[in-house]
Amino acid sequence: MRRDRLAVFILVPLVFMILATLHSARSWAQEYDEGILNAVAYRTIPDGQPMRVVPIDNSDQNIALTAEFERQLTASGHTIHEDATLILTFETRDEIGAYKSRDRRAFVEMHARGGREGGEDAKMFFNLYDSNSGGVFNTGKGETSIITQSQYRMDVTIDDKSNGKRLWQAWAIADLGRSDGRTLTKSMVPVLVKNVGSTVKRQTFSLQ
């Protein structure tokens, strides 16, 4: 009877731990597929007035993003013209995540089970070699844990060149996750164009 109760006391917390881990993994995956958008409308953007898309720098990635902005804007009913007085400017920035390495070289491992103190069936193992944590004959490669994810941000503004006034400003942020920087920033363009002229506060959007 005592062993049955001990098994229950051990298994129940273990089940909850596994369920919590699975829930965290699902939430982590969902966060990878979402970004956050903020936008501020300072003045009304005139209907039907042409726009010109200008990147902060002319990198290959930004040239491709310029074409994507123009495509999305045209699909939304805006006109693109080289001599337009409304200037949409964008900039992309990345922040590399932080990683931490930990050396867990272990020579001895102990396992025990049964009894009130868990010591009726105690065993000791000498860890001779382990490619990751290391042992008696090797130092191992240690473990690397992620502290913060790599993140990309896109800032967009629309200014009226005729009077120098800012009409609209927005920024989208997302973790790099399973994507690459080029794909991630491109997936931000549709939601930014969709919300041109609107004020948005911490709106989540899909990166699909």
pLDDT in tens, 4-55: 444 444 444 444 444 443 444 344 334 557 899 999 999 999 988 999 999 9
Cβ-contact 106, 143 below 8 angstroms: no
pLDDT in tens, 94-112: 875 444 455 555 545 554 5
Threshold 0.75, pTM exceeds:
no
**For residue 109, what are the contacts with CB-CB under 8 A and spacing of at least 6?**
124, 125, 127
Rg (C-alpha) for the chain, rounded Å, is: 27
Q: How far is 6 from 153, CA to CA, in rounded Å? A: 52
CA distances (Å), 130 to each of 44, 46, 109, 112, 133, in order? Answer: 64, 67, 12, 21, 6
Most confident of 17-26, 129-138, 184-193: 184-193
Q: Which stretch of 82-86, 143-147, 154-158 has the lowest confidence by average pLDDT?
A: 143-147
Task: For residues 53-77, give the mean pLDDT.
Answer: 95
Cβ-contact 168, 186 below 8 angstroms: no
